[in-house]
Chains A and B, each alone.
Chain A
C-alpha cells in the first residue's frame, strides 16, 4: 500500500485553504474568526507534522485539527456566556399559541417540496442570518446537533447543561429558526410576503 504523500506546507493554503475555511464558516458564521482558526490550524499542523500518520488523507488530518479548534472555541464561548434562565423560559414564540396552547397563527404553507434549497446561495445566507439571531448558546447547540450530527450527551458536556435543558434549547432554536426562515425566505418565495 502506498503512503499518501505529505505535501509541501508552502502549498497548503492553495490546496486546503478554501476547504478548511468553508468548514469553519459553516460552523462559526464569522469570517474573521474562521480565517483565524484556519491560520491556527495550519500553524499547529506545521509544528506537529509528525502527528500525520499517513493513514488518512492530508485533508482529513487538517480537518481533524480544525475540528478541535472549533470545539475549543465553542467551549470557551459557553463558559463566557452561561445560559440565562430566560433562555429556558416559556415558548420562544409566544405569539404563535393562544392561552389554551393551540396555534394562534399556524405555520404557513411553504409551497412545493424545495429539496434543492441547499444549493441556493441566498438561502444559505438567510440561514446564517437566522442562526445569528439565536442566543449564542442556542446557535452552538443547533450547530453541533444538526451540522456536526453530535449526540445530545456530547453537546451537554460542551455547553454544561442537563439533557432536559438541552431539549428545551433545541426546541426553542428550531422554533425560532423555523419562524425566521418562514418570514424571511418562504413567505417571500411563495408570494405571501409584502
Chain B
C-alpha cells in the first residue's frame, strides 16, 4: 500500500517521466480514495500550468510588461555599446 508521502513523490516523478505501469495504477487507485493527494496533484498541475503561461507571456516580444529595464540601466548599456 502506497502512503501519501510515497504518492506525492510519485506524482512529481510522473511530471518528469512516465511511471512504470504497475506504479501508475497504484497511484491512480490511491488518488481515487485520497482527497488530499488528489488535491495535491491538481495543485502541482496548476502551478506548472501557471508558470508556463507566465513564461509564454513574458517571451512574447512587444507584449507590455511590468518588468522593464530601469532608465539608468538602459543608459549604462547604451554607453557600453557606444564605447565598444
Report whether A103 and B4 are in contact in the complex, using a CB–CB cutoff of 8 Å: yes
Q: Which one, A109, A121, A167, A178, contacts B16 given CB within 8 A?
A: A167
A139 close to chain B: CB less than 8 A: no
| CB-based contact B5/A19 at 8 Å | no
Smallest CB–CB gap between B47 and chain A, Å? 6
Partner of A18, one of B35, B54, B69: B69
Shortest distance between the CB of A87 and any CB in chain B (Å): 15
Interchain CB contact under 8 A, A13 and B8: no
Please report the total number of B residues contacting A with Cβ < 8 Å. 47
- Could you list which residues of chain B lie within 8 angstroms of chain A, going by C-beta atoms? 3-6, 8-9, 12-13, 15-17, 35-37, 39-40, 43-44, 46-48, 50-55, 57-59, 61-62, 65-70, 73-74, 76-78, 80-82, 84
A residues engaging B (CB < 8 A)? 9-10, 12-14, 16-19, 21-23, 25-26, 35, 38-39, 42-43, 46-47, 59, 63, 91, 97, 100-103, 106-107, 109-110, 114, 117-119, 121, 123-124, 127, 145-149, 152, 166-168, 170-171, 174-175, 177-178, 181-182
